[in-house]
């Protein structure tokens, strides 16, 4: 279990992020077209996984936009934005801000992703959704960067995550 804060108040997660050097756990998430996807569906690409509480909030939308811009022109990278939002809301937000280089993925059918990745918030007003975190995986799904943002209202370390992509 990890301890983070929400506007200065302590909350806890279900576990720890996958460690740098470990293999990322498989996942089952849902696209904005209501299709099921797994980690293997992004095989052969570097993956930046931006885990957000809700894409429909200012900090989450900002981080999605910044990662979208950072990977423009890179065919070797996919940015996966994971949240508990419904796919319809995720699609609306991404289209409204022009975030066309990210793949929004919803946990609507299962919270196993949040449990397996250690980011499920277990107490406080946001219990049941995710903490803010960023993972970078290499082409073979090995974790090369992991950041659990200590305060949910803060943005992640963009520079460190982008640098980890190589």
Please list the active-site residues: 60
Q: Mention every residue, 6+ apart, whose C-beta is less than 8 A from residue 73.
A: none
| Cα–Cα nearest to 13, from 132, 154, 155 | 132
Question: What would the DSSP string read from start to end of 79-103?
Answer: EEEEESS-HHHHHHHHHHHT--SEE
DSSP 125: T
CB contact at 8 A, 156 and 64: no
End-to-end CA distance of the chain: 30
């Amino acid at each position: 279990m990890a301890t983070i804060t929400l506007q200065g108040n302590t909350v806890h997660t279900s576990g720890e992020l996958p460690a740098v050097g470990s293999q990322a756990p498989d996942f089952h998430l849902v696209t904005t077209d209501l299709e099921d996807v797994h980690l293997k569906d992004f095989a052969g690409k570097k993956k930046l996984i931006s885990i957000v509480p809700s894409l429909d909030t200012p900090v989450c939308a900002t981080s999605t936009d910044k990662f979208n811009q950072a990977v423009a022109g890179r065919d070797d990278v996919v940015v996966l934005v994971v949240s508990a939002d419904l796919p319809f809301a995720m699609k609306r937000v991404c289209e409204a801000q022009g975030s066309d280089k990210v793949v929004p993925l919803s946990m609507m059918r299962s919270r196993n992703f949040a449990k397996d990745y250690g980011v499920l918030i277990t107490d406080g007003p946001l219990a049941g959704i995710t903490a803010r975190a960023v993972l970078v995986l290499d082409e073979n799904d090995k974790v090369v960067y992991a950041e659990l943002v200590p305060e949910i209202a803060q943005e992640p370390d963009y520079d460190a995550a982008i640098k980890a992509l190589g």
